[in-house]
Structure 1
Amino acid sequence: MATREQAMKLGCSEVLEVEKNVPSKYSEQIFNFLLVLDFEATCWNKNECSAPSEIIEFSVVLYDIKLCKILNQFQQYVMPFEYPKLSNFCTSLTGITQKQVDAGVPIGTCLLLFNNWLKDLYKKHKFVFDSKDADKKQCAFVTWSDWDLGICLRKECKRKNIPKSDVFNKWIDLRALYMEFYNRRPKGLEGALSEVGLKFVGKQHSGLDDAKNTAYLAGRMISEGVELRITKSISN
């Protein structure tokens, strides 16, 4: 008697029905990698100042969808020029000090440093942006709302006449997909994490911590069936 038949006769084995052709939620995704981005910018209390915001922290993490893991990170403090002195409100909210931004780099230099970091990632992980080639590993920027790339970076580069790479012109607004999929408006990033059973790790309004937590939220949303797609596209 075959070993399998003996085991079944003795009650040591059971037959499990496996549902076939069930696609993985991860394999259904268009993208292999996510560049999850978060900026912190100059800000003031209500009625204190109406000046445009300048980026003071530029943070991005590379998230591997299949591995559900952050592979690399970029963080750079940026020196504001239009209003170089941070408000007490800004420091209290973000935790970023005057000393950190004074030791930072201009936004143009920050973009060059980020571009060099991105080139190293291209070489290592072989991903592309916005390609129709299904054989290529796909990557997209992810933000929590359209503010970072749609307003903050775009307007600052325009005011300061700084060239901006086309890679920043398309992104996934994770907040928009969250509201669409769950049919509810979360109370910020922390609220969204809490609603799907996650806890915010680190300090809120720290650009790097916000980027990491947004990546973790993206991973949870994917596991629950959200299909990521580009939600916003702009011209320079």
Structure 2
Amino acid sequence: MVKQPYDAFLVLDVEATCIQGTDFNWPNEIIEWPVCLLRWQDKDKEGRASKLSLVDEFRSFVQPTWRPHLSEFCTTLTGITQADVECAPKFPKVLDTFSRFLEKHGLIDSRTGKRLQRFTWCTDGPFDIRDFVVKQCFISKITIPDWLKVDVLDVRKSVGMWVALQSVAGGSSSTSPTVVPRRLSLNISQQLSALELPAFEGRQHSGIDDARNIARIATELARRGVRLEPNTTILPGRRWQWMGKPGQILEEYCLT
């Protein structure tokens, strides 16, 4: 077992509005906020641990405001329907409800919102918080909460590095020169396969199912002795060309 610096892990995989042909530079609005909370079962006094377990889950659909009607492409991709989002709270309300989930589990202070325990977000790639959350908070005209600006573990990056290191170790010899591994970028199904785990469970691009499978991957990395710690950063003040004043989307920069 290795020393693990964090006590809890918030596995997040948002789904967002999309139109076929657009990319991460488009003003996507979050329409699903799913989180799996993981904790250690066996952390000792020195901080060594290898067994993670799922403690609780949070899930809410989110009502978009700029483009309230989902595209057919978006519904086909995510499985989220117009009825799902029309009955859902808007993003600021979802964050309020989710903060109470964090308070219930002793992760943040109910008065200040500050962290009471060391936790990190876990995502598949850097996009969920770096892109989607930053854009959504701008669109909703809210400040990113302190508990959302903390550490982020990109699980995809960790798996890619683990696979690369295993490849180097398997082909090395005492006479081989130093080899710098080439990190791979694997999707969730490929990560599961690389770790010899059962195939994806559920519906791909369903936020909650994606989050559950990412949680499986993080749990397996811990079992294999990988130190789970942040490996990516976010820029809360990042701007895209379509951003005007807070909450204002400049339509001329949106091609569709």
SS where residue 230 of structure 1 aligns? Answer: coil
Secondary structure of the structure 2 residue equivalent to 1:233: coil
SS in structure 1 opposite 2:118?
strand
Are 1:54 and 2:32 matched, yes or no?
A: no
| CA pair 106-194 structure 1, distance change in 2 beyond 3 A | same
Range 175-184 or range 139-148, more displaced: 175-184
The 1:47/1:138 distance shift into structure 2, 3 A limit, reads: closer
Structure 2 match to 1:191 = 190
More helix by share: 1
More divergent stretch after superposition (81-90 vs 178-187): 178-187
Query: Is the deviation greater in 151-160 or in 39-48?
Result: 39-48
User: Which of 93, 99, 105 is matched with 2:89 structurally?
Assistant: 105
- The TM-score normalised by the length of structure 2 is 0.73
Q: CA deviation at 1:168?
A: 1.4
Decide which of 15, 31, 53 is 2:6's aligned counterpart: 31
| Residue-by-residue CA offset, 1:184-211 (whole Å, 9 max, x unaligned) | 5254111101111112111111111111
Match of 2:212, SS state, is: helix
> For residue 85 of structure 1, what is the aligned residue in structure 2?
69
Paired residue for 2:162? 181
Check the 8 A contact 1:43/1:89 in 2, yes or no. Answer: yes
- Deviation track 1:67-99 (CA, whole Å, cap 9, x = no partner) reads 532110000000001111111111111100000
Give the aligned residue type for 1:200.
F
Separation of aligned partners in 1, 2:207 and 2:157: 20
User: Is the alpha carbon distance of 1:235 and 1:223 closer, same or farther for their aligned partners in structure 2, counting shifts above 3 Å?
Assistant: same
1:171 — aligned with what?
152
Aligned equivalents of 1:187, 1:219: Cα separation in 2: 17
| Residues 4-19 of structure 1 mapped to structure 2, 5 A cutoff | none
User: Displacement, 1:41?
Assistant: 0.2
Residues 168 and 137 from structure 1, CA distance in 2 versus in 1: closer, same or farther, beyond 3 angstroms?
Answer: closer
CA distance in 2, matches of 1:234, 1:166: 12
Taking structure 1 as reference, are residues 92 and 123 closer, same or farther at Cα in structure 2, changes over 3 Å only?
Answer: closer
Deviation at 1:47, TM superposition (A): 6.2
The answer to whether the Cα contact below 8 Å between 1:60 and 1:208 also exists between their aligned partners in 2 is yes
| 3-state SS of 1:53 partner | coil
1:51 shift after superposition: 4.3
TM-score, normalised to structure 1, is 0.79
Q: Give per-residue Cα distances to partners, 1:151-180, cap 9 Å, x unaligned.
A: 111122123311221121221111111222
Q: Give ranges in structure 2 of 5+ residues lacking alignment.
A: 42-50, 165-182, 237-256
When Rg is computed on C-alpha atoms for both structures, the one with the higher figure is: 1
Q: Contact 1:65–1:219 at 8 Å: present in 2 too?
A: no
Which is worse superposed, 169-178 or 88-97?
169-178
Q: Does the CA-based 8 Å contact 2:114-2:146 persist in structure 1? A: no
Give CA-to-partner distance per residue, 1:17-39, whole Å, 9 cap, x none.
xxxxxxx24xx211222111110
**One-letter amino acid matched to 1:172:** L
For residues 231 and 43 of structure 1, do their structure 2 counterparts lie closer, same or farther at Cα, with a shift above 3 Å needed? Answer: same
Q: CA deviation at 1:140?
A: 1.3
Contact 1:56 1:80 survives alignment (8 Å): yes
Gaps of 5+ in 1: 1-23
* Residue of structure 2 in register with 1:9 after alignment: none
Matched, 1:217 2:217: yes
Match in the other structure for 1:20: none
